[in-house]
Amino acid sequence: MAKGALSNQIRMLRFMAGEMTQAELGLAVGVTRQTIAAIEQGKYSPTLEAAFRIARVFDKPLEEVFQWEEG
Amino acid sequence: MAYREKLAAVNFTAMALVYAVYFTIVATRPPEARLLDMLWLFGMVATAHALVAIGGNLAVRIQSGGGAADERDRAIERRGASIAYAVLLVGMILVGVVMPFTEAPGKIVNTALFAIVIAELTHQGVILLSYRRGWHG
């Protein structure tokens, strides 16, 4: 299996969206603030559905929010 | 601490405290104790556990406001349940396959109960550790 890591731009996108808080993003996506924090830190990989929901909140395509980096 | 992390802590502590008392009593009393006495003791301990767990869960809910489980909570729950299942399986093999040939009924019953308690402690413990250490299944 190919090794790699999922990274994301959520923190920057939140900042650009008027300092949106993790709790506000969590509410919009339907997950807890702790889950958003875990996703941001790369500790938890969201489901495809949650990833699309996050991208939809920022009105960005999925690949601008999440990136797959080959290890 | 998040709501579900607190719930796991309460459930772990309630079970550990109450059943520590039960198994201490069972281990230190004479081996010829009647099965009915053991069942009576278990009934009291199970009732105490239910009361402590319900009270603790209500207190956490009032303090934290509750909330539905999200996908990460469910992933952590699955991890806890799958590891606890393996623990329970080992305990049940011991109780159902090995002990009937060598041990008295009272000891078999208590070992089965011990396996269930250890499996549930594993379940809640893994959930608690997963939240604290960032293991998300």
Give me the mean pLDDT over the A17-22 stretch: 95
Tens of pLDDT along B45-86?
A: 999 999 999 999 999 999 888 788 899 999 999 999 999 999
- Given a cut of 70, is residue B124 above it in pLDDT? yes
Give me the mean pLDDT over the B8-26 stretch: 94
DSSP-derived secondary structure for B1-18: --HHHHHHHHHHHHHHHH
H or E segment and range at residue A45: none
Predicted pLDDT of residue A1 = 62
**Beta-carbon pairs below 8 A across chains A and B:** 31
Cα distance from B6 to chain A (closest Cα, Å)? 13
Among A31, A38, A45, the residue with its CB nearest the CB of B134 is: A38
Among B2, B67, B71, the residue with its CB nearest the CB of A47 is: B71
H or E segment and range at residue B101: none
- Interface predicted TM-score (ipTM) of this complex, two decimals: 0.83
Rounded Cα distance between A57 and A18, Å, is 13
| Cβ within 8 Å, pair B72-A30 | no
Predicted pLDDT of residue A2 = 66
Domain residue extents for chain B: 3-133
Nearest CA among B133, B5, B131 for reference residue B67: B5
Q: Which amino acid makes up residue A70?
A: E
B10 or B39: which leads in pLDDT: B10
DSSP-derived secondary structure for B121-137: HHHHHHHHHHHHHT---
| Cβ within 8 Å, pair A44-B70 | no
3-state secondary structure of A61: coil
| Cβ within 8 Å, pair A38-B72 | yes
B55 CB neighbour count, 10 Å cutoff:
12
Who's near A29: CB < 8 A, 6+ residues apart?
A: A36, A50, A53, A54, A57
Cβ(A68)–Cβ(A1) below 8 Å: no
Rounded Cα distance between B100 and B103, Å, is 6
Sign of torsion, CA A17 A21 A25 A28?
negative
Cα distance from A53 to chain B (closest Cα, Å)? 13
A38 touches chain B (CB under 8 A): yes
B2 touches chain A (CB under 8 A): yes
